A = this chain, B = another copy of it.
């Protein structure tokens, strides 16, 4: 019985190795290549530990936040990384990711399948303070990458400030300090010419 559980768990560990081959639009800081989703998940998990003090909500459950962030993108193994600004890709994103979650977490023993599925849904639903803080960091991390890589992914994809600001709304809700930081880093990116500002007529405040 114990052995059967372990066999399922090892199969799962082998399967999720595939996340190391899912590439994001973001570049790693030395600009040598695209970032993959496994290393992104590592980075954003450490970021959650590091920046916890800036959350608006006091006494968040950091342990749950980290577990959520470690597994939040596993569905990309089947569903791929949907680029943040890909409106077509977003149309069936939910459906693709639900199917991926069913298959992937289905490899696990039942109790763990349910537990991991619950954590993943908490992140997706984005309603608990923990999920909101986790989402904020997940959105903020690529902005920092873009800023420090000369905006390569913004430029490649013709992104303008209002699109980033819209995408970064979860930061606004999760942390006053990080929201101010977000606005500052975007302004600095525009001043450096690595992010395009909106045409005057469509500018958001």
Contact = CB atoms under 8 A, between A and B. Distances in A.
A51 B36 CA distance: 24
Q: How large is the interface on A (under 10, 10 to 19, 20 to 34, 35 or more residues)?
A: 35 or more
A187 interface: no
Nearest to A32: B21
Contact of A16 (B9, B46, B66): B46
Interface in A17-48: 17-21, 28-30, 32, 35-36, 38-39, 41-43, 45-47
A144 interface: yes
B16 A43 contact: yes
A14 interface: yes
Number of copies: 2
A63 interface: yes
A146 to B, nearest CB: 12
Contact of A20 (B28, B49, B62, B181): B28
Nearest to A17: B29
A148 to B, nearest CB: 6
Given A38-B42, A63-B66, 7 more contacts: A6-B54, A13-B43, A13-B46, A20-B39, A38-B38, A49-B70, A62-B63
Contacts of A71: 46
Contacts of A13: 43, 46-47, 50, 144
